[in-house]
Structure 1
Amino acid sequence: MSSTTRILLGLALGAAAGLILAWFDPAHAARAVQFAQPIGRLWLNALQMTVVPLVLALVIIGVSAANDAAASGRTARRALVVFALLLSAGAAFAAIVAPLALSLLPRDPALIDSLRDAIPAQAAPAAVGFADWFTAIIPTNAIAAAAQSAMLPLVVFALFFGFALTRIDATRRERMVEFFQAIADTMIVIVQWVLWAAPLGVFALVLAVCASAGASVLSALGWYIALLCAMYLAVTLLLYPVAVVFGGTRLRRFAAAILPAQVVAASTQSSLASLPAMVESARDRLGQPRAVAALVLPMAVSLFRITSPMQYIGAASFVAWIYGIEVPAAQLAAAAALAVVVSLGSVGLPGQVSFMATTMPVTAAMGLPVAPLGLLLAVDTIPDVFATVGNVSADLTASSVVARAEGSSEPAAPA
C-alpha cells in the first residue's frame, strides 16, 4: 500500500470515528478529542523540528546550484531570469487570487470555533507597517531568528551565506555545500521517518476536528482542493499568452505542440518523466534550437516548478480562512517572496516531504498556525495532475522565451 493511500485511509477512518462519536455520544467525543489531540500535536512537532535546518540547507544548496547553472553560459543565465520572473508572477497571482477567492466562499462560524478548540491557533498577527516589515527582513541575530522560527529573516541570512560561498575558494566552497547537502539529506530521512507515522497523526488530527466541528471540515477540505485545482488551471491557461507575446509563438501552434507533453504529465504526474516529451515538443514541434531545448528544459525540471509557490500560498491562505484570520498585506508579500526562494531549493524533494518542509515556513511567515497543515497533507496529492500539467506548460513556455531571446530557431518538423 502506497504512503498516499495509507494517509488517505487515516483521513477516512479519523473522519468516520470523529463523526460517529459526535453523533452518538458527545461526552465520549470530548474525551476522544482530549486523547487524540496530544498524539496529533506530537506528530506535528516531530515534523516542525526539522524545518529550520532543512530550509537553511535547501536555500544554500539552491543558491549554489543556481550559481553553477549561471556559470554554464549566457543561455543558462537567461533561463534563470525567466524562471525567477515566472515564479514571481505565479506567487503574486496566488497571493492575490487565493485570499480573494476564499473570501467569496461561505464560512461556518461554528467551524472556526470548533477548529480553535480542536487545533488551537496562535494569536492573530498584529498589523505590520511597511517600514517595520522591511527592517525586519535582515536579522540582527541569525541564531535568534532560527530559534524563533522567523523564516523570512532566516532565509535572507541563508541567501547571503549562499552567495558569499560563491566568492570563496572552490575547494572550500564544495566542502561547505557537501556539508549542507548532508544536513538536508539527514533532515529528509527524519521527515520520512515521521511521515511513516502520518496515517496515525492524520487520524488523530481528523478525529479531533471532526468530533468537534462535524462534517463541515470535510467540505472545507473540498474547497481547498478546488482552490488549488482552479489556480493551477488558471496559471496554465495564462502561460499561453506569455508564450505568444514573449516567446514569439503562434497560439495554435504552441497549444498543439505542448499537448503531447501535457498528456504525459497528466498520466505520470512527474515532470521528470515528461522531460523526453518536452524536448521532442520543443525541438520538433516548436522549432527551438536543439542547444536551447537540451539546456533549458533539464534546468527547468531541476530548478523550476511554477505551481510550488502557488501551493504554499494557497495552503497558508486556506489556514487563514478557516481560522478567520486577516493577514496583513506586508506579511502576504513576505510570504510570496519566501515561497519563490524556498521553491528553488525544494524541487528534488519527495512530494510529501516537500509539502511539509516548504509550506510550513510560508505559513509561519504569514503569522498563521501550522497545525492544520497536517490535515492538508492528507489531500495534497489530489490536485497533482493539474500541478504537473502546469509545471510542464511553464517549462515549455520558459524555453520558448529563452529561444526567442537567443535569436535563433530551427524549422519545425513537418506534421
Structure 2
Amino acid sequence: MSQATRILLALIAGLVIGIAAASASADWALAATKITQPIGSAWLHGLQMVIVPLIVGLLVTGVGATADAARAGRIAGRSVVMFVILLWSATLMSALLVPMLLKLWPLPTAWAEALRTSLSRAAAPAGTVPNLGAFFDTVVPTNVVTAAAADAFLPLTVFAITFAFAITRLPPEPRALLTGFFQAIVDTMLVIITWVLKLAPIGIFALAYGVGAQTGAAAFGALLHYIVTVSAIGLVVLLAAYPVAAIFGRVGILRFARAVAPAQAVAISTQSSLASLPAMLKASAELGAPATSAGITLPIAVAIFRATSPAMNLAVALYVAHLLGMPIGPGALAAGVATAAITTMGSVSLPGTISFFASVAPVAVAMGVPIEALGLLVAVETIPDLFRTVGNVTMDVAVTISVARADGGAAEPEAEIVT
C-alpha cells in the first residue's frame, strides 16, 4: 500500500469515526478531541519546524539553478527565459483567477465556519505579513535573524532573494560552494519532512477525527470543493499549452494534441514527469524539434520547470486563506506570487505528499497563512496531482517546440503552420 493510499484511508477513517462518534454522543466525541487534537498539532509542528530553512534554501537554489541553466548555452538560455515567463504568467493568472473563482463559487458558509472552528485548535500563527500601508516600512529587514525568529516571512523572502542573486555574481568556486551548501540544507529538510510524513496517517487521523466530530459530513463537501477549485487552475495551465505551441511553436493545435497524447497517457499512469521524458522526446521529434534542441530543453524542463506548480501552490494557499476567513492584502499576495514562482525553480522532482509540503508550505507561510489545513488537504492531493503532472508534461513539449522554432529547427508542413 502506497503512502498516499495510507494517508487517504487515515483521512476517511478519521472523518467517519468522528462523525459516528458525534452521532452516538456529541459530548463524548468532543471530549475525545482533547486527546486527538494535541497529537495532530504535534505532527503539524513537526512540519512547521522546517519551513524557515526550507524557504531560504529553495529560494537560493532556485535562483542559482535558473542562472546556471541560462549560462549553459543559447538553446538553454532561451528555454530558461521562456520557462521564467510562463511560470510568472501562470502564477499571476492564479493570483487573479482563484479569488474570482472563490467569489463566484464560494465554500458554503456553514461548511467554512464548521471547518474553521475545528481547525482553529490546531492552528499556529504562520507569521505576520504587513498590509500595504506598512509594506515599504517592513519589507526590507533590519535584522534577518530577528525576522526569521519572528516568522516575518515577507522580509525574510526579500532577503533570501537578494542573497540568492548576490551569490550568482560570485566567481564559480564560491558560488558553487554556497549553492551546494543551501542545496544540502534543502535536502536535509526534505529528509526531515520524509520522517515526519511517515507518521502522517497517525497525525491526519487525529486531525480528521476532530474535524469529523465537529463538522459532520460538511468536511467531505469542503474537500470536494477544494479538489475542484485547485484542479481547475491546473486545467487552465494545461489548456494554455495548446495556444503556446500554436503561437510560438507554429504547430497546428490538432497535430500538437495528437502528438502529445501518448506522453499525457504516461503522465496519468505514472504521475511522474521524469517517467514521461521518453514519450515527450518522441512527441517533440514528431512535431519537428531536432534532437539537438529537444535533448537540451526537455531535461532542463523536467529538472527545474514545473508549469503548473506555482499556480496550483498559490491556489492552495489562497484556498486555505479563504477557508480560514483570512483576507489577503497586496503585500501578502506579492509575497506568495514571488515565493511560488521562484521556489518552483529550485524544488526537486518528488512525488506525492513530500512535494506537496515542500512546495505549498513555503508559499502559505510567506503569505502569513497557517498551514494546519494542509494536514487534511494532502490526503486528497492525488487528484490535483494528476492535473499537475499532465499539465507539466504538456507544457514541456509546447516549450520544446517553441524553443526549437525560435532556433530555426522546427519545420512543419505549410498546412500545419498557424498564422
TM-score grouping bracket, smaller chain normalisation: over 0.9
Q: Counterparts of 1:16-415 in structure 2 under 5 Å?
A: 16-120=16-120, 128-129=131-132, 132-134=134-136, 136-283=138-285, 285-409=286-410
- Indicate if the aligned counterparts of 1:95 and 1:333 stay in contact, CA closer than 8 A: no
The answer to whether the 8 Å contact 2:264/2:390 transfers is yes
Residue 118 of structure 1 and its aligned partner are, at CA, apart by 2.2
Identity of aligned residues (%): 46
Q: Would the aligned equivalents of 2:79 and 2:399 in 1 still touch at CA under 8 Å?
A: yes
Is residue 289–residue 410 contact of structure 1 (8 Å, CA) maintained in 2? no
Task: Show CA shifts across 1:237-259 (max 9, x none).
Answer: 12211221122222222222211
2:355 & 2:47 partners in 1: Cα distance? 12
Mapped to 1, the partners of 2:278 and 2:126 lie a distance apart of 49
Q: Separation in 2 of the partners of 1:11 and 1:73?
A: 48
Runs (4+) of structure 1 moved beyond 6 Å?
Answer: 123-127
Counterpart-to-counterpart distance in 2, 1:238 and 1:171: 40
Offset of residue 59 of structure 1? 1.9
In structure 1, C-alpha distance between the alignment counterparts of 2:85 and 2:75, rounded to whole Å: 15
TM-score by length of 2: 0.92
Residue 328 of structure 1 aligns to which amino acid in structure 2? Answer: G
Match of 1:56, as an amino acid? Answer: V
Shift of 1:128: 2.2
Cα separation, partners in 2 of 1:407 and 1:140, compared to 1, 3 Å: farther
How far does residue 134 in structure 1 lie from its aligned partner after superposition? 4.8
How far apart, CA to CA, are the structure 2 residues paired with 1:182 and 1:127?
Answer: 31
Tell me by how many angstroms 1:138 deviates. Answer: 3.0
CA RMSD of aligned residues (A): 2.2
The answer (yes or no) to whether the contact 2:313–2:359 under 8 Å persists in 1 is yes
Aligned residues: 410
C-alpha spacing 1:126/1:261, structure 2 compared with 1 (3 Å): closer
Does the aligned pair in 2 maintain the 1:37–1:118 contact within 8 Å?
Answer: no
Q: Offset of 1:173 from its aligned partner? A: 2.7
> How far does residue 223 in structure 1 lie from its aligned partner after superposition?
0.8
Q: Partners in 2 of 1:409 and 1:127 — Cα distance?
A: 48
* Deviation at residue 350 of structure 1 after TM alignment: 4.1
Structure 1 pair 255–134 and aligned structure 2 pair: CA distance change class (3 A)? farther
Segments of structure 1 that go 5 or more residues without pairing to the other structure are: none
Is the Cα contact below 8 Å between 2:126 and 2:365 reproduced in 1? no
1:3 lines up with 2:9 in the alignment: no
Aligned-partner residue type, residue 97 of structure 2: V
In structure 2, C-alpha distance between the alignment counterparts of 1:366 and 1:113, rounded to whole Å: 21
1:411–1:239 distance in 2 versus 1, CA, 3 Å: closer
Query: SS of 2:11's equivalent?
Result: helix
Shift of 1:264: 1.4
Counterpart amino acid of residue 78 in structure 2 = R
Supply the AA of the counterpart residue of 2:80.
Answer: L
Give the superposition deviation at 1:216. Answer: 0.4
8 Å CA contact retained: 1:269, 1:384: yes
Q: CA deviation at 1:207?
A: 0.7
Letter in 1 for 2:51: V
Give the counterpart letter for 1:117 in structure 2.
Answer: T
Which has the larger displacement, 219-228 or 309-318? 309-318
TM-score of the aligned structures, taking structure 1 as reference length: 0.93
**Is contact 1:103-1:321 (8 Å) kept?**
no
Check 1:79–1:276 CA distance in 2 against 1; reply closer, same or farther (3 A cut).
Answer: same
3-state SS of 1:383 partner: helix
Moved more, 378-387 or 148-157: 148-157
CA contact (8 A) 2:129 2:366 kept: no
Distance in 2 between the 1:333 and 1:62 partners?
18
Paired with 2:126 and 2:310, the residues of 1 have a C-alpha distance of 25
Question: Residues 397 and 128 of structure 1: is their aligned pair in 2 closer, same or farther, counting only changes over 3 Å?
Answer: same
Alpha-carbon deviations, 1:355-404, whole Å to 9, x = none? 11221221223332211111111111222222211001110111122122
State the distance in 2 between where 1:335 and 1:165 align: 23
